């Protein structure tokens, strides 16, 4: 007669406890919420740079007129950091082919703050969702330098 030695309940419990500890350590190290926030912030930064590029291309193509200046009843961004992307001038950018309609209807666009300072420099800003991007923020909502910063703005 052969006897097979199996694992005891204590040995199985120890293995499960070790696996649970390792899983907890990995979960804390990776921090999925922070990773998701960093990915969103990266997309927002790319989208804000693309929108700024479209505004600047329009400005050059239309002899120094911004898109909000060529649409009636369309207010220009202010310098106080309270202006969001207006659909009237965003639609103008779509109409002339500076941005794609799918880009214009993207979820990031509504969270951007657009400012126009006294030197006619356009800033497109957003509030970062991740701690990593927040630590890089050194501007306020109007694009001015601030310590500590609350916004990531393009141009920096």
- Decide: residue 90, CB within 10 A, 0-12 exposed, 13-18 middle, 19+ buried: buried
C-alpha 112/C-alpha 153 separation (Å) is 9
C-alpha 50/C-alpha 121 separation (Å) is 16
Query: For 2-23, what is each residue's pLDDT tens digit?
Result: 776 777 888 889 999 999 999 8
Query: For 38-97, what is each residue's pLDDT tens digit?
Result: 999 999 999 999 999 999 999 999 998 999 988 888 888 888 888 888 888 999 999 999
């Amino acid at each position: 007669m052969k006897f097979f030695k199996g694992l005891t309940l204590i040995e199985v419990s120890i293995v499960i406890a070790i696996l649970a500890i390792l899983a907890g350590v990995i979960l804390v190290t990776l921090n999925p919420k922070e990773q998701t926030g960093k990915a969103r912030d990266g997309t927002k930064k790319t989208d804000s740079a693309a929108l700024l590029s479209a505004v600047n291309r329009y400005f050059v193509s239309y002899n120094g007129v911004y898109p909000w200046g060529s649409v009636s009843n369309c207010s220009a961004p202010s310098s106080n950091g309270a202006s969001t992307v207006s659909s009237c001038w965003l639609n103008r950018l779509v109409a002339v082919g500076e941005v794609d309609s799918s880009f214009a209807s993207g979820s990031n666009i509504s969270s951007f703050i657009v400012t126009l300072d006294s030197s006619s420099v356009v800033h497109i800003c957003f509030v970062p969702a991740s701690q990593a991007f927040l630590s890089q923020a050194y501007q306020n909502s109007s694009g001015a330098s601030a310590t500590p910063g609350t916004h990531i703005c393009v141009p920096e």
